[in-house]
Amino acid sequence: MPQKKTAKLDKVRNFGICAHIDAGKTTTTERILYYTGKEHAIGEVHEGAATMDYLAEEQERGITITAAATTIFWDDHQLNLIDTPGHVDFTAEVERSLRVLDGAVVVFDGVHGVEAQSETVWRQADRYDVPRLCFVNKMDRGGADYDNSVKTIQERLGATVVPLTVPVGAADSFRGVVDLVTMEYVTFGGDQGSEVTRVPVPDDLREEMEVRRAELLEGLADCDDAIMEQILEEQEPSEDQIHAALRAAVVERKLYPVLGGTALRNAGIQPLLDAIVRYLPSPLDRGSIHGHDPEKPEKEIGLEPKDSEPLCALAFKIISDAHGDLTFVRVYSGTLKQGKGLYNPRLGKHERSMRLLRMHANEREQVDEVGAGHIVAVVGFKQTATGDTLCDKKHPVALEPITFPEPVISMAIEPRSTADKDRLEEVLARLAREDPTFRVSVDAETGQTLIAGMGELHLEVLKHRLLRDFRIEANVGKPRVSHRQTVRAEGRSTHTWSRLIAGVEQTATVTVQVKAGEGGSGIQFTNKAPEHEVSPVFVAAAEEGARFAAEGGLDLGFPVIDVEITLLGGRMHDTDSTETAFQAAAGEAFREACEAAGVLILEPVMSFEVTTPADFVGPVSADLVRRGALIEGDDLRGDLRAIRGKVALNQMFGYSTTVRSLSQGRAGYSMEPAGFAEVSAEERKRLTFED
């Protein structure tokens, strides 16, 4: 199909492809590129030739590390596609992609069904109200079970699903799919499955498929009164009516259609493309975007997805490039033009879009302007960060920023020579600007530079980029977990801070109470101080001081989390009280109150899932128990056992080597952050040097 420059907004689909690692997500994407005419040959992941996995690290490891975008066309529709990573260490890439997408295709392994990271990406899509299609892949594999995979989507994800296509056969006997809407048997032949043949459902399959079609219509009837009425009157809905009802149900997230196939064997992708254009929403279907006035956060502002509206865009991804940073933005309203000045309300500054680029992985096509509903990469922004809003200064608006999980693992890094020091700092700053889950800090006691990320693989990839891509000569330490602290009970303290600074006396008195908050609640601040004791301007300073102290940590330097801080009162001096004094007094009062409440040391805990052949369940389980894991359950998935539970991250370093050794290389595992828990008595002694 010939490529087009633009499409009307109702024919635009902004969608992502998400999955658990190794479910075949990138292989599915490569077939989509081939069948839409974007690529003339299929790039295979196992050969390191996948178009969307263009980084050297991705090609060597055979996994997706960074989300890659492209624009393709199918059936007169423009598809802006983002291929996202499947490994939990790179979950931020999924998070920021789903924040700006209108729909998603979630790929499932036909053998394993829902896996650990499947649940994670599903919850992320739920958080942003993203409509979804499900694609059950690998139906050519031994042990593939379509119905069981659909069942796991229903039970483990709590999703209301309706199969639209049904694979005929599985493993070596897989032959094609049945389209339940048209009641046609669909096969894929010719060059790389590009020839799609549709014939009436064969007689030997008709009875089963009529039952399955009736189930589809029953599921649809629960969402559509017109379909329900037709079924009750024993009338057959037309194909157009079914398509319209399905589209409405998908857009409203009442149903999640399921399709099946095998991307590696080039079967089932064209029906998936048809479903994307038929059922996933356009920017118009998603409706207006809501933000707030940067000066008055309580004032809500709504903007329609129209070129004529004031400009509003969200920066969701930054890539450091040899020719300058590339900032990916989703335009929600208005028109973004090359050379146009944009206002960043977080910074209170203007940025200029020097060039606009439509991306295809690492290839680019320059465009002059981009309208509402589209995604584009911008060259020229100097200070804009991930999650920033860009708008018209005359019509300022701020969208909800993107939130990312905190890093859970760190390691020390130091340059091998003085000459590398400045270069290392520069490169680390670039990487931190690209990746919001990568943090750089300096240990106050040792002076060491620490880099922190989401897991061993995350830091390993970043280390390789430093050493190979940026050619930094550096010594890198072993990974270690990032601890936190919190309070055991309730405590309070009154602190008076007084200093003579530049000949001027500065003083303030603050009374603070702290108590343990809910897990994952962060730092909550409440003001109960009478205004005659602490004026509003000093309340803001006290909050800033307390939060800064929490971030900086207590005696061990670990950040404090999940604490409720209450400002109870204080004392102001008529002339000598300053904001600086109240910041310092509140910080000291907070630290003292925490000591009075009793301080706990926390370590990151991970949810894990290990899949192993039944023959190795015993040794794998025994090893997990030895590591202090709490095994919460296991279930059968084809010929494999999936063991689930929680374990301290500190106990799982190097686990990939161990689990392969215990299972003759046949077991695999995945983990994701599950919060923090108190360290063991032995670990506390080690960290605090107690006898």
Q: How confident is the model at residue 1 (pLDDT cuts 50, 70, 90)?
A: very low
Task: Give per-residue pLDDT as tens, 660-683.
Answer: 889 888 887 878 888 899 998 888
User: What pLDDT, on a 0 to 100 scale, did the predictor assign at position 3?
Assistant: 40
Average pLDDT over residues 260-279: 95
User: What pLDDT, on a 0 to 100 scale, did the predictor assign at position 49?
Assistant: 44
Q: Which helix (H) or strand (E) holds 621?
A: helix 617-626
User: What pLDDT, on a 0 to 100 scale, did the predictor assign at position 164?
Assistant: 96
Q: Rounded to whole angstroms, how far apart are CA atoms 416 and 684?
A: 33
User: What pLDDT, on a 0 to 100 scale, did the predictor assign at position 340?
Assistant: 86
Q: Rounded to whole angstroms, how far apart are CA atoms 69 and 84?
A: 9
Q: Rounded to whole angstroms, how far apart are CA atoms 31 and 196?
A: 14
Average pLDDT over residues 392-409: 88
Average pLDDT over residues 439-450: 78
Which residues lie across from 342 on neighbouring strands? Answer: 351
The answer, yes or no, to whether residue 447 has pLDDT greater than 50, is: yes
User: What pLDDT, on a 0 to 100 scale, did the predictor assign at position 467?
Assistant: 80
Average pLDDT over residues 363-380: 89
What share of the chain in percent tops pLDDT 70? 93
User: What pLDDT, on a 0 to 100 scale, did the predictor assign at position 690?
Assistant: 58
The answer, yes or no, to whether residue 591 has pLDDT greater than 60, is: yes
**What are the tokens at 667?**
């077991």
**What are the tokens at 263?**
């991307």
Rg value, the chain, Cα: 28
Comparing 37-41, 162-166, 414-418, the range with the smallest average pLDDT is 37-41
- Chain length of the chain: 691
User: What pLDDT, on a 0 to 100 scale, did the predictor assign at position 83?
Assistant: 83
Average pLDDT over residues 70-98: 85
Average pLDDT over residues 609-635: 91
- Cα 545 to Cα 529, 540, 581, 583, 586, distances in angstroms: 16, 9, 9, 4, 6
The answer, yes or no, to whether residue 74 has pLDDT greater than 80, is: yes
Residue type, position 611, single letter: T
User: What pLDDT, on a 0 to 100 scale, did the predictor assign at position 252?
Assistant: 95
Residues 412, 417, 421, 426, CA torsion sign? negative
User: What pLDDT, on a 0 to 100 scale, did the predictor assign at position 601?
Assistant: 94
DSSP 177-198: EEETTTTEEEEEESGGG-EEEE
Task: Give per-residue pLDDT as tens, 158-207.
Answer: 999 999 999 998 888 888 999 999 999 999 988 888 899 999 999 999 99
User: What pLDDT, on a 0 to 100 scale, did the predictor assign at position 233?
Assistant: 87
DSSP 329-373: EEEEES-EETT-EEEETTTTEEEE--EEEEEETTEEEEESEE-TT
The answer, yes or no, to whether residue 575 has pLDDT greater than 70, is: yes
Measuring CA to CA, which residue among 388, 386, 376, 385 is closest to residue 334?
376
Q: Is 523 helix (H, G, I), strand (E, B) or coil?
A: strand
Q: Which helix (H) or strand (E) holds 375?
A: strand 375-379
User: What pLDDT, on a 0 to 100 scale, did the predictor assign at position 691?
Assistant: 47
Phi-psi region of 244 (alpha: psi -120 to 50; beta: other; left: phi over 0): alpha
Task: Give per-residue pLDDT as tens, 292-311.
Answer: 999 888 899 999 999 999 99
Measuring CA to CA, which residue among 611, 558, 365 is closest to residue 450?
558
Average pLDDT over residues 134-157: 93
Angle between helices 579-597 and 536-552 (to 10 degrees): 50
The answer, yes or no, to whether residue 5 has pLDDT greater than 70, is: no
Mean pLDDT score of the chain, rounded to an integer? 88
- Contact call for residues 223 and 249 (beta carbons, < 8 A): yes
What share of the chain in percent tops pLDDT 90? 51
User: What pLDDT, on a 0 to 100 scale, did the predictor assign at position 147?
Assistant: 94
Ramachandran angles phi, psi of 310, nearest 5°: -60, 145
Which residue is listed with tokens 């920066």? 315
The answer, yes or no, to whether residue 48 has pLDDT greater than 50, is: no
Reported pTM: 0.78
User: What pLDDT, on a 0 to 100 scale, did the predictor assign at position 515?
Assistant: 96
User: What pLDDT, on a 0 to 100 scale, did the predictor assign at position 285?
Assistant: 93
Average pLDDT over residues 442-465: 81
User: What pLDDT, on a 0 to 100 scale, did the predictor assign at position 65?
Assistant: 64
Q: Is 123 helix (H, G, I), strand (E, B) or coil?
A: helix
- Contact call for residues 508 and 585 (beta carbons, < 8 A): yes
The answer, yes or no, to whether residue 546 has pLDDT greater than 70, is: yes
The answer, yes or no, to whether residue 47 has pLDDT greater than 50, is: no
The answer, yes or no, to whether residue 487 has pLDDT greater than 60, is: yes
The answer, yes or no, to whether residue 566 has pLDDT greater than 90, is: yes
User: What pLDDT, on a 0 to 100 scale, did the predictor assign at position 55?
Assistant: 56
User: What pLDDT, on a 0 to 100 scale, did the predictor assign at position 362?
Assistant: 66
Q: How confident is the model at residue 324 (pLDDT cuts 50, 70, 90)?
A: low
User: What pLDDT, on a 0 to 100 scale, did the predictor assign at position 359?
Assistant: 79
Measuring CA to CA, which residue among 99, 3, 1 is closest to residue 363?
3
Phi-psi region of 37 (alpha: psi -120 to 50; beta: other; left: phi over 0): left
